[in-house]
Each structure stands twice: as structure tokens, then as C-alpha cells.
Amino acid sequence: MERFDDEDPGWRSAGHVRRSLLVPGTAAGAAQDVPDGLVVVRRLFVVFALGLVLMGVPVAILAASGGAPAGSSAAPGLALVLVGSLVQIVASRVIRLPLDGRDAQALASSYRNRFFVRLALAEVSPLLGFVASILSGRAWLYAVGVAIAAFGFAEIAPTARKLAADQDDLNNRGCGLSLVWALRRPSGT
């Protein structure tokens, strides 16, 4: 039986996801082969971040093959991306999902829920950029969406520094549980 403690395993264990994306069918299992919940969250973060890069490939191919339709303007697409990004930024500031320190399972669950809500918000601008670039034939609109998403991804990255900040918040609220320990232990134990 593997021992889980409150020591951060680091990002090294999340690294093999890059290789698994090159072989069809293996990326989905990348998060399932490790019982360590923190490693799983980090692997999923890497998968979604690399997904943004990989989505740029069809955008670039479609933009290069067809270009912009005659007489079309990039302005509506850019407006779509910028308005969507503004909504994304405001929503990420307004939607506060505090960590639930009642017990280890609630703490880990609330961290994962908050992570996925923030991840969904960070995906708004690149998805709008994808649509705008496909409709307008201008790949740079997707690049604008990805650039804006990079800030959201930097904000949600499950780094040791951010975990420590969350731990400080938990400690200040009187919770004696270790966030890293709660995330690393198998679910339901």
C-alpha cells in the first residue's frame, strides 16, 4: 500500500502526460493510473493546457487553406473574443468557491470543484477565439483567446506556492487539515 503524506510530490509525475498525448487513447487514462489526487489534478491541468496548443493546429490549417472570406472583417470575431474574455475575467473574480475544511474528503472535493470551475472559465476565451477564427478564417483570433487564457491558467495552476496560500487561508480559518495530504490520499479513505 502506498503511503500518502502532506509532502508535495512536485510536477515531475505530471510530465508523462505530454508523451501520452502523442498516442491515441492514452491521454484519457493518464489521470486514472495514479491514485494520488494531487498528481491527477496536475496531469489534468497539463492535458488541458496542451489541448489549447493542439487546437491551434486545425485553426492554422483551416486559416491557411481558406483564408478569410471575401469582404469579411475580423472586428466581430475580435469583439466576441474580447467580450467573452471580459465576462470570463469578471466571473472568475465574482465566483468564489471557498475550500470546505470539515473533513479531508470535503476539503479535497471542494478543491477539485473549484479547480474545474476555474478551468472552465479559463477555457472561455480560447473557445470563442476558436469559433471566431473558424468563421473569419483568421488564426490570430484563436491566438488572442489563448493568450488571454494563459492568464487564467496561470491563476489556477496547482503550484506549491498556490497550495501553500490555500493552506494559509485554511489555517487562518481554523482548519487544521493539510490540503496536500487531503488531495493526495485516495478518495473515500
- Assigned domain for 155 exists: yes
Q: Does residue 142 contact residue 55 with C-beta atoms inside 8 Å? A: yes
Range of the structural domain that residue 91 is part of: 12-184
**How confident is the model over 156-182, as pLDDT tens digits?**
999 999 999 999 999 999 998 999 999
**How confident is the model over 37-48, as pLDDT tens digits?**
899 999 999 999
Low-confidence ranges of the chain (pLDDT < 50): 1-3, 30-31
Q: Does residue 183 contact residue 39 with C-beta atoms inside 8 Å? A: no
- Assigned domain for 6 exists: no
- Assigned domain for 189 exists: no
pLDDT computed for residue 31 by the predictor: 47
* Helices of type H across 14-172: 16-20, 27-30, 37-66, 75-94, 104-122, 124-136, 140-156, 160-172
* Cell numbers for 35: 491514485
- Assigned domain for 2 exists: no
Domain total for the chain?
1
pTM of the model: 0.80
- Assigned domain for 66 exists: yes
Helix (H, G, I), strand (E, B), or coil: what is residue 116? helix
